[in-house]
Structure 1
Amino acid sequence: MKQFPKAGWFWYLCALYIFEMAWAEKFKLNKQLIKSVLEAGFNTPKEIQLKTLNRIIGGQDVVAIGAEGCGKTTVLVLATLNRFKHSADGVPKALILAPDQEKVFELLAQFDRLNRNKTIRLVSLHPGQTTEQNMDDLAEGADIVVATPDRARAIYLKLGLNLNKVDFFAVDDAQLIVKKGLQLPVVELANSIGRAQRLIFTEVMHARLEKMIAPFMLQPATIEVEEMPDEQLPVHPQMLYHVPNFGTKLNLLNLFLHDEELITKTVVFTNTRLTAETVYKSLSNKLRKAVVMINPLSFEYNKVNNIEEFKIDGSLRVLIVANESGAESDVTGIPFIIHLDLPAEKEIYIQHIENHNIDADDETLALTFATDLELDQVRRIEQATGQKMQRAELPEDLVIEKDRKQKEEEKEQAKAKKHIKPDPNQYVPGEAFHEKKPENSKTYNYSSGTKAKMNMKKKHG
């Protein structure tokens, strides 16, 4: 009996050595960090760590894309701590931005978990503190600053945050930063930093995020991991329509539902009753009494008390349900389930699309409309179900609505043109004037060699 603990301890040391070698052989991490990683329970590196950590340690700019829980934050913390070989000097060398106070705290907790170099001083900047407190903390010395973009920018403009020696700039959960509309302070802070390594960690990549990072990320290595769980939930077939905005969502919904032969009995889910009423008004112009709601805000709309009432009424084609209404959502037997909005809690979505009778011939199809800002929710749903939604092409006859900002800019430009008074001294061409054709207009000064090539094309083209 006395020999068992010794044998157990021996095998534990052997396993610890194997795990240590798994990290030491793959990454150029200092020994303190490798010990911290093993003590934290990270026995083997994850895919995102295998694909990104050595690139980051080597000084490369990286955009890392992966689902929630894939290990992105651990990569960021390890890469940051590995830059501090010896004692720190109290001047910010690393600036890490996170979308909100909660995410800042999560990063700080992971730093505390993995950091053995107690000379490193971390300072956090977030709305839970006063700006005076933030500036006092920075004045005492900071090596790593973890902050929300708006608070970091505010302190920087007050000359409280010194960016002169920052050589490591990272943005964590970048998709949430875009969702919160914090792109401008991120870009301003990035551009205020001189030569530095720049990292982006995000769950998804889309046009708005690409636009945010374009001014300060030059030819980064983009690495995406697609880790899906082995277990799959039984769900109805899903199709994803990626659209630019809510207006286009409405146009797509109308396009589908006005085809009575293609789309039959349908339940449309929105997040709020206000949105549900907007959808109702959009559809009722043509569908009339065939569209109904559950618990509408106004008594003037057609309504049913529950989904069962909708199912048995053959005159009804479309039911609009707001997730906030608290109505039960048993959509079993409904041919089409459309999510115009994605609920904040993925469990609500999964409840709607779960297939409770997998042995039956499944004729239910789940359609999801998502903008750039909802793609991270799509990814979390896919991780939870173990299945990717099938990406669908948008119909050719779909009207793509312009964004509100674009519409406002065009209105302002139109107003400005109206208020411009013609210059009486400016020459205005008369009726005999003919504009040159585009191919004849001279907009460039071509070299003699280029002109020769152009003439050869005209002669022999």
Structure 2
Amino acid sequence: MAWAEKFKLNKQLVRSLTEAGFDNPKELQQKTLSRINGGQDVIAIAPEGGGKTTTLVLATLNRFKHSADNVPAALILSPDQEGVEAINERFNLLNRNKTIRIVLLHAGIGVDQQMDDLAEGADIVIATPDRARAIYLKLGLNLNKVELLVIDDAHAIVKKGLQLPTTELSTSIGKAQRLVFTEVMHDKLAKMIDPLMHLPSTVEVEEMSETQLGMLPQMLYHVPNFGTKINLLNLFLQDVEVFTKTVVFTNTRLTAETIYKSLLRKARLSSAFIKPLSYEYPVADNVADFLRNDKLRVLLIANELDEQVDLTGVPFIINFDLPADKEVYIKHVEIQASDEESETIALTFATDLELDQVRRIEQATGQKMQTADLPDDLVIEKDRKEKEAEKAARPKQVHKAEDKYTPGPAFHEKKPENAKTYNISSSKKAKMNKAKKH
């Protein structure tokens, strides 16, 4: 058997894999399982459906050679309840060692119930980072004997803002092997996992669709944040001769309105919406009307409308946001039979948190987007957190009590006879005032 020949998997696992229909290991498993079984920290980068879940389940189960002792030896973190349950289903499919007790921690069950489950004993804990941390702080989760920490869908953990509980859980675990599975690697993710890993081996696998779809030429602009997206859009639209007609796709109408308000005056005056939230904004009924109107250069369309739009004849399509459903994007940039000779170019703006969507689109279409360099004159906006950190780091101006007033050159001391060197009580002032002749 392929599994028995290539990897040091126990016989129970090999039998389970065969019965489940996993006849041959995927590329990710071929490249990672030997390293994992050797005890090395591993960062595995693979697309959706690349075999990440099966790999982490095999890596975990292979550690249990005999009966388990009901103390957590493995902690597996997933970004949400759906991910936790999907991993558990794969364990149920492949696990033949009935002494292993698995406990799930997520928001779908009450904390007290989950703490009771842990108290009864657990060998493998599959959890969302925030729920695992909350129970750990209540002293309900024992991490003292954890030998394996797995962070699954790490890109989604960063997207959901769960870096802090993930990092705190990792630092609460002593010496242990750490595995990270993700669809993409980017700066925000690297910032989270770099301090947690010890000399990790990075394995990247790309699985593209064998059938290539006919797509318009696509340029990918990787930008740090929303503000830089706005600056890049304004920079492009300043070139009136090149960007004569541009359709801009956003995920929501609220984002479209935000973009409209952020556009420079000339671009704003020549922009219109399809079905805006408010009727105070200029409207175009469809793309054809937009193309016929010589005064309009920019058309804003929200993906949430799920509009069937004919983009024939539009020189530029800008995907300001990337939709969660890759089919929505593909529908906009796929070449139709009527526009095979089209000269339309699709530009896509993506932040770190959208790179997983880019990879899914590339996987589905069978072709990679061409990465474009950012223009030299593009203003890169700082993230909100960076601005707050800079503000906090600025030295505060403190007025010291000992700082005294220094008189100017026109100041003259009073003559001794005019100087007031005494204090008069209120009763004495009253007598003096009474003695005055009015």
TM-score by length of 1: 0.85
What is aligned with 1:119? 99
Identify which of 210, 213, 224 aligns with 2:204. Answer: 224
**In the TM superposition, what whole-angstrom CA distance separates every residue of 1:314-372 from its partner, at most 9, and x where no partner exists?**
32211011112343222122111100001111111110001003873230111000000
Counterpart-to-counterpart distance in 2, 1:61 and 1:362: 49
Letter in 2 for 1:76: L
Counterpart-to-counterpart distance in 2, 1:393 and 1:41: 45
- For the pair 1:365 / 2:345, whether they are aligned, the reply is yes
Q: Secondary structure at the match of 1:321?
A: strand
What runs of 5+ residues in structure 2 fail to find an aligned partner? Answer: 404-438
How many angstroms does 1:112 deviate by?
Answer: 0.2
Counterpart-to-counterpart distance in 1, 2:291 and 2:34: 57
How many angstroms does 1:126 deviate by?
Answer: 0.5
Q: Secondary structure at the match of 1:319?
A: strand
How many angstroms does 1:287 deviate by?
Answer: 2.2
- For the pair 1:271 / 2:276, whether they are aligned, the reply is no
Q: Secondary structure at the match of 1:417?
A: coil
Contact 1:268/1:321 (8 A) holds in 2: yes
- For the pair 1:343 / 2:323, whether they are aligned, the reply is yes
Q: Secondary structure at the match of 2:3?
A: helix
How many angstroms does 1:218 deviate by?
Answer: 2.4
Q: Secondary structure at the match of 1:304?
A: coil
State which drifts further: 296-305 or 156-165. 296-305
Contact 2:261/2:268 (8 A) holds in 1: no
Counterpart-to-counterpart distance in 1, 2:240 and 2:260: 17
Counterpart-to-counterpart distance in 1, 2:149 and 2:270: 55
- For the pair 1:407 / 2:414, whether they are aligned, the reply is no
How many angstroms does 1:410 deviate by?
Answer: 2.3
Show the 5 A alignment for 1:379-394.
Answer: 379-394=359-374
C-alpha RMSD of the superposition: 1.4
What is aligned with 1:11? none
Identify which of 214, 220, 234 aligns with 2:194. Answer: 214
Contact 1:28/1:54 (8 A) holds in 2: yes
Counterpart-to-counterpart distance in 1, 2:292 and 2:339: 23
- For the pair 1:239 / 2:233, whether they are aligned, the reply is no
What is aligned with 2:160? 180
Contact 1:271/1:343 (8 A) holds in 2: yes
TM-score by length of 2: 0.90
Counterpart-to-counterpart distance in 1, 2:58 and 2:293: 60
Counterpart-to-counterpart distance in 1, 2:339 and 2:319: 25
- For the pair 1:315 / 2:295, whether they are aligned, the reply is yes
What is aligned with 2:115? 135
Counterpart-to-counterpart distance in 1, 2:122 and 2:335: 53
Identify which of 390, 396, 407 aligns with 1:417. Answer: 396
How many angstroms does 1:55 deviate by?
Answer: 0.3
What is aligned with 1:450? none
What is aligned with 2:10? 30
How many angstroms does 1:199 deviate by?
Answer: 0.4
- For the pair 1:300 / 2:246, whether they are aligned, the reply is no
Task: Give the paired residue count.
Answer: 403
- For the pair 1:281 / 2:271, whether they are aligned, the reply is no
Counterpart-to-counterpart distance in 2, 1:226 and 1:93: 31
State which drifts further: 164-173 or 329-338. 329-338
What is aligned with 1:159? 139
What runs of 5+ residues in structure 1 fail to find an aligned partner? Answer: 1-20, 426-461
Counterpart-to-counterpart distance in 2, 1:154 and 1:182: 13
How many angstroms does 1:312 deviate by?
Answer: 2.1
Contact 1:291/1:316 (8 A) holds in 2: yes
How many angstroms does 1:301 deviate by?
Answer: 1.5
**In the TM superposition, what whole-angstrom CA distance separates every residue of 1:84-125 from its partner, at most 9, and x where no partner exists?**
001001000000000000000000000000001111000000
State which drifts further: 98-107 or 292-301. 292-301
How many angstroms does 1:212 deviate by?
Answer: 0.6
* Percent of paired sites with the same residue: 67
Identify which of 167, 177, 184 aligns with 1:197. Answer: 177
Contact 2:67/2:100 (8 A) holds in 1: yes
Letter in 2 for 1:64: A
**In the TM superposition, what whole-angstrom CA distance separates every residue of 1:274-306 from its partner, at most 9, and x where no partner exists?**
110111122251224321111112222211111
**Higher Rg of the two aligned structures:** 2
